[in-house]
Amino acid sequence: MILQQLLYLPAYYKNRQEAVNTVMLSNLNIEKKENQLICNCIANRKYQVSIIINGRIQSSSEIMIDCTCESFKYEFAYTVGRDKSLIYPNRYLKTISKDKNKFLHLTGCKHLIKFGSYIFANKIKIERSFNNVIK
């Protein structure tokens, strides 16, 4: 999947925008490892949210994702796994189901949407901090 899929909510998820707005992010940590940006944070003091970005921060960049919330596990992990974009596919072997995501839309929970949007909105600042490394 690509970063863009975390940036825009599809029409039938529009009512989730309010939920996304209330997500609180803390403990932000972004590291560069070879050609990847490993991005981690905590959402609402509870959930570990992770996004791995290949290459630069662009809406077309390939990403892999994970969130420890129930919504991600039961609603989104199925389509993300089918796309081979789960960071920890083994976590979901027993729990993933396509039932709750009837549209099979490839996106993340509200925590991932909030974090992805934050990273994209701050891409200049983030990339500048890795200035001489990212090409």
List contacts with Zn ion (CB under 5 A): 67, 69, 72, 109, 111
Amino acid symbol at 31: E
Identify which of residues 29 and 129 has a Cβ nearer to Zn ion in the complex.
29
CB of 116 to Zn ion, least distance (A): 11
CB of 125 to Zn ion, least distance (A): 24
Who's near 90: CB < 8 A, 6+ residues apart?
none
Q: How many CB atoms lie under 10 A from the CB of residue 114?
A: 23
CB of 67 to Zn ion, least distance (A): 3
Nearest to 49 by CA among 5, 88, 9, 102: 88
Identify which of residues 22 and 131 has a Cβ nearer to Zn ion in the complex.
22
Identify which of residues 109 and 119 has a Cβ nearer to Zn ion in the complex.
109
Identify which of residues 16 and 56 has a Cβ nearer to Zn ion in the complex.
16
